Every structure is written in C-alpha cells, then in structure tokens.
Amino acid sequence: MNKAAIESIDRILKKGSGTLINRCFAIYNIVEESGEEFGESLKYVFENHGFIESDKTDQPLFEISKNEQEELENAYGDIVDGIIKAFIKRKYESEIEFYEELWKTIESALFNDAKAKAFALYYALIDKRLPYYVVSDGVKMKNSEFVERQSNLVVQIRKLKFILFNDDLFEQKTEKASLLLGIINSVEDVNDRVVLFAYVISDIEEACGNGINNISTLLRQLISD
C-alpha cells in the first residue's frame, strides 16, 4: 500500500471542504500519482468515503463548476453507470482486482480529460452499488421447494408483512428491525429463514415500485433510529 497516497486521501476525507466532485478531483490526482498500487488507493477511497466525517478545515478546491458538473453528467453519467453494471456482473477474485479494472477504465480514452476522469470517479463513488465486495454464491432452490416451504411459514410471513407496513406502531425503526429479525430467527432451518427474508425483500421491492426511491433507501430507513 502506498502510505503517502493513503495519508493524502485521508486528509481530504477528514479535512476536505467544497463539493464532493471537487474533492474527487483532488483524490483522482492522488490516485493517479500512486504508482502501481492504484487499486489499493482506490479501494481505500470507496471503503472509507461516507464513514469519515470531514471537519472541513482545508480550503475548498474549485476546479469543476456546477454547470460543468451538469454537463459532465449529461455526457458521461450513463457511461459510468453501464461500466459499473458490467463490472459487477463479472466475478473478480478480489476487491483489488475490481478497483484496478475500474481505475484502468477511468484512465482510458472513454474520459478525455482530467475533469471527465474526476467525474467518473465521483459518479462511481456515489453509486449505491459500491463499494465492491467479493461474495460467495447464495442459496438457490427450485420453485417447488420454495412453494412447499412458504406453505409451512404462512403465520411468520403474515407477521412480517404486518410489522413491515405498520410504521405507526413503533417509535423507532430499530424496534421494527428487531421484531422482523426475531421472526426470521424464530425458525431453525436456514433455508426457511432464507424464504422468510426473501419475502421481506419482495415486499420492499414492491414498495419501491410504489414511489419509494430504491431498496437501499428503505432498508436504511428500516434500521435507523
């Protein structure tokens, strides 16, 4: 790991001020100069952004105006979104490999200058699908098995739905989350728990289709105080 690069990135995360895209412009320059360890540097950025609160004591960098940011989004937003979607579908052996490929793409001719490259970094950084992690294969089951298991879990499924959609019963979201978790954990069989959680996800996705922004927003609301 390039210690100097990490320290410089850390300073921006802890003391940086101004708009996020301009802080990303500064981070882009640091990663670009971090040599062959750019994957480690980029991984550090994604895994720590949003978890380190800046005191905003450093002078803000102003390289990209609001109008330029809008122009960059119009020109490159869909491209970055497509890149992330395609990369996530691949099975990388490590997180570093993912970030190395992402960085090589940012540095490619797809993005024709430093501002465009900084925007690509910024747009990836605010994407809810990242940071990237290598995960194992999940549980898969035939539809017939799922139907059989759900028929034995009707009471639990009804309780989950009742708790999930009755906000007025609870003062805190953690109350709701703990009750949902308790119902899921009340069954001994792991695959039965998977079926119950699948129902929670299904109901959340249905709610998302009825005007709630996205599944991550609703889950975040579910577990926050």
pLDDT in tens, 113-155: 999 999 999 999 999 999 999 998 889 999 999 999 999 999 9
Task: Give the pLDDT score at 2.
Answer: 80
**Which structure tokens are listed for 23?**
């802080």
CA of residue 44 relative to chain centroid, distance? 14
Task: Give the pLDDT score at 222.
Answer: 47
Rounded Cα distance, 215 and 126, in Å: 16
Q: Categorize the per-residue pLDDT at 157 as very low, low, confident or very high, splitting at 50, 70 and 90.
A: very high
Task: Give the pLDDT score at 216.
Answer: 47
Using CA atoms, how far residue 225 sits from 3, 121, 178, in Å, is: 37, 31, 12
The answer, yes or no, to whether residue 64 has pLDDT greater than 50, is yes
Number of H helices, E strands in the chain: 11, 0
Find the Cα–Cα–Cα–Cα dihedral 118, 120, 124, 127, rounded to 10°. 110
pLDDT in tens, 73-124: 999 999 999 999 999 999 899 999 999 999 999 999 999 999 999 999 999 9
Mean pLDDT of 218-224: 47
